[in-house]
């Protein structure tokens, strides 16, 4: 069974220039628009170390924040395979420059998977009033916001009072850095392969299971050698671990901006003012710091 990413070839995505990420990871902002001052101590949050995937590649380190509240079964599978060592040494075998970087195949060519059963898709999740979503844009019938580091869209919260479970349907937005599961033609065919977005690609929404987002190392994802398939030698994930499993003496300290913070609100306002009608959630910065 082929486990690969299917997409609309006709869709064109404009790729911005890649910049080296400073620490803290603050992408550049136009000098024509006032950006928020540097985040203060109260603007940061410390992610759950059991929900951070640390990917050491030959190009550098990538840290992905996993969101079990969005795709619990897929996050559980990624953790299980990470802890089993399956992802160690895996190649980035399919990498499209203005799209994504795909890996996680034990055969390193897009046709393999683990010995675990395929997963039932989690394209959508149920969002309740306690989801912690921070609103970015209200489009009346739908809303856009962030749950932790992940940009999401959902039905309007006004519908919660009308549903049996008091929740509405929501789904990840495929912004740069979003992590999602690859699959075959069947919706329930995801197994071990996953991909990391290099640029925004909205046509994937509600068609693939998004389960996390890169919070540090997007420049590494964008530096991975491209090809379809990638010619040898391919870039690799040398070692993949869950942060909680790394010995304390060598465990990096990670923090990321809190979407509930005053800094983030100012960033939303600044980005909206700068971009006007071109404003999207993908343009909002999510600073991180790794020590």
> What is the pLDDT tens value at each position of the chain, 291 positions in all?
333 333 322 222 233 333 333 334 444 444 445 678 899 999 999 999 999 999 999 999 999 999 999 999 999 999 999 999 999 999 999 999 999 999 999 999 999 999 999 999 999 999 999 999 999 999 989 999 999 999 999 999 999 999 999 999 999 999 999 999 999 999 999 999 999 999 999 999 999 999 999 999 999 999 999 999 999 999 999 999 999 999 999 999 999 999 999 999 999 999 999 999 999 999 999 999 999
| Burial bucket for residue 179 (CB in 10 Å: 0-12, 13-18, 19+) | buried
Tell me the CATH number for domain 41-290: 2.40.100.10
d(CA 250, CA 264): 30
| pLDDT score at 36 | 87
274, 32 in Cβ contact below 8 A? yes
pLDDT score for 33 = 55
Distance CA(278)–CA(272), nearest Å, equals: 8
Phi-psi region of 110 (alpha: psi -120 to 50; beta: other; left: phi over 0): left
Q: Helix, strand, or coil here: 143?
A: strand
């Amino acid at each position: 069974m082929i486990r690969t990413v299917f997409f609309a070839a006709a869709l064109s995505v404009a790729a911005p220039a890649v910049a080296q990420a400073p620490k803290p990871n603050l992408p550049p902002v136009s000098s024509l628009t006032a950006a928020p001052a540097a985040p203060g101590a109260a603007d940061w949050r410390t992610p759950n170390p059991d929900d951070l995937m640390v990917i050491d590649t030959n190009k550098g380190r990538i840290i992905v924040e996993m969101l079990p509240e969005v795709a619990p079964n897929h996050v559980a599978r990624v953790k299980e395979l990470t802890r089993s060592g399956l992802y160690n040494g895996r190649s980035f075998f399919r990498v499209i420059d203005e799209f994504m970087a795909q890996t996680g195949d034990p055969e390193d060519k897009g046709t393999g998977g683990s010995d675990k059963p395929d997963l039932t898709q989690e394209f959508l999740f149920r969002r309740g009033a306690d989801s912690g979503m921070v609103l970015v844009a209200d489009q009346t019938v739908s809303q856009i916001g962030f749950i932790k580091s992940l940009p999401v869209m959902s039905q309007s919260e006004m519908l919660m009072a009308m549903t049996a479970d008091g929740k509405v349907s929501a789904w990840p937005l495929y912004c740069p850095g979003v992590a999602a599961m690859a699959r075959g033609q069947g919706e329930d065919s995801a197994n071990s392969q996953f991909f990391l977005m290099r640029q925004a690609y909205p046509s994937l929404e509600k068609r693939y299971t998004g389960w996390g987002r890169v919070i540090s190392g997007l420049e590494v994802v964008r530096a991975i050698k491209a090809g379809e398939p990638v010619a040898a030698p391919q870039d690799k994930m040398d070692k993949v671990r869950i942060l909680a499993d790394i010995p304390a003496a060598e465990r990096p300290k990670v923090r990321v901006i809190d979407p509930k913070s005053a800094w983030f609100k100012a960033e939303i306002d600044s980005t909206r003012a700068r971009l006007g009608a071109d404003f999207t959630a993908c343009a909002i910065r999510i600073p991180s710091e790794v020590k």
